[in-house]
Structure 1
Amino acid sequence: MPSVIRPDIESLGFSGINKIATTALEDPEVIPLWFGESDIVTPDFIRQAASAAMDGGKTFYSYARGQLPLREALLAYHRRVYGLSLDPDRISVPGATMTSVMITCQCLVRPGDEVILVSPYWPNIRTCVQIMGGHPVDVRLEEGPERWSLDLDRVVRAITPRTRAIYVNTPSNPTGWIMSEEEGRALLDLCRKHGLGLISDEVYHRNVFSGAVAAPSFLTLAEPDEPVFILNGFSKAWAMTGWRIGWMVAPRHLAEPIAVLAEVNTTSAPAFVQYGAIAALEQGEPFLQSFIDRCRINRDLVFQTLGAHPRVELLRPEGAFYAFPRIEGVTDSLALATRILAEAKVGLAPGYTFGEGNQAHLRLCFAIRTERMAMAMERLCAVLDQLD
């Protein structure tokens, strides 16, 4: 009997991250560097705000685009960080940042459309495009000599009559690359010229090592009704990965359609969680700065240890909290990550899952406490010493 399930859904499989992590998620001996999170419990002031909201009865359905106090706090946050007075209709809090990604793809991608993905990229964006019946088209960043960089001519060559949108993540997971304002302006002008949507994943906007308040953002470049979707969230800056709450800044005229999409995807973000998010925005700067300091120390540690290994090529990350080393002679990153997990009890993500051309790479998150990070680097380098 023929299957009634869409073939492209039946063929979905785990990303390389989950292929590794699900095999040893509960092993206490493993130092887990596979996911994009630290080992810091969400700060007390955030947890207490959410707990107080729950105790106060904030346990009912909420607004599909987020409660007004949170959206007002986000308006104030954007004024403080970017000097912008955004139209309130542009901000929505539909649930997790992942929900915002899916809603954006639902807005832009039709069956048969192509979406250019600036790679290496977080693998879930590729899956979202595929779920919508679209076709991902990789355009890889240039690797080196000093930093990752975007060759706009390669993006131009990838555009076809079927191209619908361009996706870029800056600061980048997994490379740590940060797009400059000049590069962003050129990419936006290209989208305008060809009538393309732009998806900008800026969830690591505060995780920068230059001393800047935030990374350059398309918020300062795009007009209110352009097809530009800026995706953001609370997970990475305020240690809230398990809370599943993020926000999006979208074209002004889509406020109601986005509310409808939010309603059918998640109904609403949990009300009490939103009050924890308000606390993060209003009280979170000291925590955020201490977390950036920790990640900067760990980045330098990784660069001085793993980056000095003779089998490794590593560009210094400018933001986020990942390293993406290339391992000389490696052609199967999943096999190498599996071996490192078995022999060293260090959990890494295989490079192939971040797009084409990354089979020689591994991704590691350096957000955990420095002592464990040093132990992980020692174990990892010991395995690399034994490679043929």
Structure 2
Amino acid sequence: MRSIIQSLEESKIREVANAGLGREGVLPFWFGESDEVTPEFIRQAAMQSLQEGETFYSHNLGLPALREAVAQYASKLHQPIAAERIGITAGGVNALMLACQTLLDAGDEVVAVTPVWPNLTAQPLIMGAQVKCISLAPDAHGAWQLDLRKLLSAVTAKTKLLILNAPNNPTGWTLTRSEQETILAHCRKTGTWILADEVYERLYYSGDTANGCAPSFLDIATPEDRVIAVGSMSKSFLMTGWRVGWLIMPTGMSAQVGKLIEFNTSCSPVFIQKAAALALQRTNEVTPRIVAHLHQCRDKLVKLLQETPGVKVAAAPGGMYAFFQIDGHTDALQTAKRLVLEAGLGLAPGNAFAPQGEGWLRWCFASKDLSRLDEGAQRLRTWLLHKK
């Protein structure tokens, strides 16, 4: 077995969840998904496809209808994007791994902005790359910010790939348009590829963009730029378990990625692709409602946490998480486990996302019933009162 595989850390999020799964009465906010099921018309589309016997392979890069649907969807949000630049994948995580497999050789240098979903730093390591992490830093109010000069200094001609997740999991930090323009110009000079994980782009609450989503590299990059953007149906269509996402690649790259998809999953299931295509065509029936509800969830939970003595938290501009700190609780994993066992409250430990997240906790606020957030906050307050 390869030594790098043996050295990969197990998920601390899963470690906490395993301590709580099966325990009666635990409120689970540890995973990054809503507790609301996929809309019925999307489920019906998949069932109809199955009933019609569509159980065979598709093109490696996905059904033409779905690639076109993604192209039209992305083009409405950003610049015009051709379907030929799109590859359909078995979820966003598969898209990110395919990008790493396409670009990285053993020994290549990768720069990643952290804290971040641990898959994004593990995937380059699996490929044998060397990962250099540049950390965001929290301000006095708990809002995480990027030191742009520090990042630009880290990205040199030796840097093969820069990985950015914005809006960010877990902090909710989001790149500004100015920052993106500066980063893109710098990477053009150094010849560095940009892998932009933009699966949370629609979960954006600042309202300072005309297209209703977070600033994207797709707004400013040319089709020839070394930019790969990853999207997914998971978050803004309530389709986490369906495992369908996409890559938007530079012109001429899709054929090579298609070969890799053949050696990974061959293709995404047809019935899932059919459901995804319909969801994208009817996005206005799904996503705006989800985003508006998540905005309510964010505002409610952040207010509840800010009213809790000893808690530091800021309302993030994007994503689906509150990332917060509790005075006197510096061991995030131990605190998360205690909250599960002693308060029936399931949160993710911040050090699952980077060492800089130590002492922080992530709360996924994507709750269909807002009263669950009230109950969770009350459990936290009670626990702090008696256990601090």
TM normalised by structure 2 equals 0.95
Give 3-state SS (helix, strand or coil) of 1:198's partner: strand
Matches within 5 A, 1:78-157: 78-82=74-78, 84-145=79-140, 147-157=143-153
Q: Please, which runs of 5 or more residues in structure 1 have no aligned partner?
A: none
Letter paired with 1:27: R
Hey, what does 1:262 align to over in structure 2? 261
Find the residue that maps to 2:20 and give its secondary structure: coil
**Residue 260 of structure 1: how far off its partner (Å):** 0.6
Unaligned runs of 5+ in 2: none
CA contact (8 A) 1:114 1:137 kept: yes
- How far is the alpha carbon of 1:257 from its aligned partner? 0.7
Alignment correspondent of 1:14: 10
Q: Which residue of 2 aligns with 1:367?
A: 366
Secondary structure of residue in 2 paired with 1:337: helix
Match of 1:40 among 36, 43, 54: 36
Residue number in structure 2 paired with 1:175? 171
Deviation at 1:134, TM superposition (A): 1.4
Superposed CA offset, 1:86-113 (max 9, x none): 1222111022111101011112222122
- Alignment partner of 1:202 out of 198, 201, 217: 198
Q: Does the aligned pair in 2 maintain the 1:33–1:348 contact within 8 Å?
A: yes
- Aligned partners of 2:349 and 2:361 also within 8 Å: yes
Shift of 1:308: 2.5
Deviation digits for residues 7-63 of structure 1 (CA, Å, limit 9, x no counterpart):
111222321111111232333421111111111110001001111111112110111
Q: Structure 1's 252 and 376: CA in aligned 2 closer, same or farther, altered over 3 A?
A: same
Distance 1:279 1:161 in 2: 43
Any conservation in 1 of the 2:196–2:228 contact (CA below 8 Å)? yes
1:63 is aligned to 2:59: yes
1:309 & 1:29 partners in 2: Cα distance?
22
SS at match of 1:253: coil
Q: Which amino acid aligns with 2:99?
A: T
> What is aligned with 1:304?
303
Comparing 146-155 with 129-138, greater Cα deviation is found at 146-155
- Which deviates further from its counterpart, 350-359 or 285-294? 285-294
Counterpart Cα distance in 2 of 1:384 and 1:168: 35
Find the residue that maps to 2:246 and give its secondary structure. strand
Matched residue, 2:71? 75
RMSD: 1.5
Higher mean Cα deviation, 298-307 or 232-241? 298-307
The Cα shift of 1:305 comes to 1.3
1:128-171, Cα deviation, whole Å (9 max, x unpaired): 01111112222112322464322111113323564221111111
1:288 maps to which residue? 287
Matched residues in 2 for 1:384 and 1:8: separation? 40
SS of match in other structure, 2:357: coil
For the structure 1 residues 157 and 327, does the alpha-carbon distance in structure 2 shift closer, same or farther, using more than 3 Å as the test? farther
Greater Cα offset, 260-269 or 292-301: 292-301
Contact 1:87 1:224 in 2 (8 A): no
Runs of 4+ in 1 over 4 A off after TM superposition: none
**Cα distance, 1:198 vs structure 2:** 0.5
- Contact 2:19 2:340 (8 Å CA) reproduced: no
Alignment match, 1:384: 384
Give the Å deviation of 1:230: 0.2
CA distance in 1, matches of 2:157, 2:12: 31
Q: Which whole-Å CA distance do the structure 2 matches of 1:28 and 1:221 have between them?
A: 49
Amino acid of the structure 2 residue aligned with 1:361: W
Cα distance in structure 1, aligned partners of 2:333 and 2:290: 30
In the aligned structure 1, how far is the partner of 2:54 from the partner of 2:303? 48
Q: CA–CA distance in 2 between the matches of 1:188 and 1:71? A: 26
3-state secondary structure, aligned to 1:357: helix
Whether the aligned pair in 2 keeps the contact of 1:112 and 1:162 (CA below 8 Å) is no
For 1:382 and 1:135, the matched residues in 2 are separated by 44
Contact 1:94 1:259 in 2 (8 A): no
Give the whole-Å Cα distance in 2 for the aligned partners of 1:249 and 1:161: 24
Q: Say which SS state the counterpart of residue 189 (structure 1) adopts.
A: helix
Query: 3-state SS of the aligned residue for 2:316?
Result: coil
Residue aligning to 2:223: 224
Is this contact kept in 1: 2:157–2:190, CA < 8 A? no
Instruction: Describe the SS at the equivalent of 2:46.
Output: helix
Contact 1:93 1:247 (8 Å CA) reproduced: yes
Q: Percent identity?
A: 37
Could you say which residue in structure 1 is the equivalent of 2:334?
A: 335
The residue type paired with residue 194 of structure 1 is T
